[in-house]
Amino acid sequence: MSTLSKTIPLIILILLSSCSKRTEIQPPAMNGDDIFARVAAFYKIGPKPSGSQNAAKAAEHIRQSISASGLNPETDEWELLNGEGIRTVYRNISVDMPGKSKDFIIIGSHYDTKKIETVPDFAGANDGASSTGLLLSAINTLKKSGVKPHYTLKFVFFDGEECLVNYSGKDGLFGSRRLAARLKDSGMTSSCRAVVIMDMIGDRDLKITIPANSTPELTELALAVAAKEKRDFISKSKNSIIDDHVPFLDIGLPAIDIIDFEYGENNRYWHTAGDTLDKLSSSSLETSGNLLMRMVFLIK
């Protein structure tokens, strides 16, 4: 065999491999003021424990906001006994933003609020509203930009994240467990590239603490995105957290929980009357929004 005949297949191989390389698509920039306005509007609905009239209002608010962005929301509604054994209606709201590929990334937030006997008007500015407003803003920003991501983005607003007694197979994570089971039953897990959950991401003093039970590749990607911006608002936590990413990990999908679990000194605003709008800032919401967008556009 001559040198030339060895070289030609090599050139073809290099050309083929460069053809299969994906071109990088830039996500549109998020706007903190727009996110904050959406968080505030959602927060003002008030407490939204699953099954309450306000939870139905909240679901309708999400649907209307998606429709106003020119997209068609889907509602998955079902009934189940809640953690206290009471028949409860749950609703997941979702919308698909088509990408170049039908393979998809789930971007999730819970919108229900914790039922707290001692704080009956608990409306969860950071815990529930911050990530919900962020996703609504991301949907609108993407739609307006006309940018088509590589993968289809499935935005999902989960009901029933908060437990009433203790997290178990019968309490808490109702919405995410529902979607994970549906993905598994329909054989669609192989088309799901990743699951990114946003929760409590608007604290003025933003310190995202990625829980240890997140998929390492996704954690490293989140850290790399922050490092590229020379920003120091994100770290790896040694602790695991039960949140909406867990049911997806349980069915073998890569999943990450982007959460700031240092909400006030010693997390003192978490699940207390202190979780109010004045603890949040447009700047933190914008940082979290851009982290989410840049991350999902880089997921392979």
**Applying CB under 5 A, which residues contact Zn ion?**
114, 127
C-alpha to C-alpha distance for 26 and 163, rounded to whole angstroms: 38
Closest distance of CB 295 from Zn ion, Å: 22
Residue closer to Zn ion, measured from CB, 34 or 275: 275
* Closest of 272, 212, 264, 267 to residue 237, by C-alpha: 212
Number of H helices, E strands in the chain: 8, 8
Longest CA–CA span in the chain (Å) reads: 84
Residue closer to Zn ion, measured from CB, 163 or 225: 163
Whole-number CA gyration radius for the chain: 20
Residue closer to Zn ion, measured from CB, 129 or 196: 129
Residue nearest to Zn ion (CB): 127
DSSP element (H, E) containing 151: strand 151-158
Closest distance of CB 138 from Zn ion, Å: 21
Contact 198, 107 (CB under 8 A): yes
Closest distance of CB 270 from Zn ion, Å: 7
Closest distance of CB 162 from Zn ion, Å: 5
Closest distance of CB 119 from Zn ion, Å: 12
Residue closer to Zn ion, measured from CB, 244 or 286: 244
C-alpha to C-alpha distance for 39 and 134, rounded to whole angstroms: 7
Three-state DSSP class for 221?
helix
Residue closer to Zn ion, measured from CB, 127 or 244: 127
